[in-house]
Amino acid sequence: MITGLDHVQVAAPPGCEAEARAFYGALLGLSEVRKPPELAARGGVWFACGPQQLHVGVAADFTPATKAHPAFAVDGLEQLAARLLSAGAEVRWDTDLPGVARFYVADPWGNRLELLAAR
């Protein structure tokens, strides 16, 4: 029986760690989680996202996920959109889901992310 979601992983190219920390850590405000030593040699970076985690994993044959995506609940959605815009990110607001404020943005490698107002 599934009891919840532990983590979501997005893929990134080799050498992605500094950009992952800048984007997911500094810009989006996620706290880095230390990877177990047994997995650290694989590269990538893990972040806390509420009680769950976001793992940025290295893929040698990386291709960005332009449809599949994690969706993040955000307090201060408008402020985050403004911060992303000022950092040069393209924020694409979406109104297709009635009553839900949300937008899409790409991470540094082109992976699609959805950010929506926390309920």
How much of the chain, in percent, has pLDDT values that exceed 70? Answer: 100
The total domain count for the chain is 1
For the stretch 30-44, pLDDT in tens is 999 999 999 999 999
Give a yes or no: residue 113 inside a domain. yes
For the stretch 42-57, pLDDT in tens is 999 999 999 999 999 9
Q: Which pLDDT score, from 0 to 100, does residue 51 have?
A: 95
Three-class DSSP category at 41: coil
Give a yes or no: residue 2 inside a domain. no
Q: Which pLDDT score, from 0 to 100, does residue 119 have?
A: 78
Q: How far apart are CA 72 and CA 89, in angstroms?
A: 17
Q: Domain of 109?
A: 8-117
Give a yes or no: residue 81 inside a domain. yes
Residue 90, pLDDT above cutoff 90: yes
On average, the pLDDT of the chain sits at 97
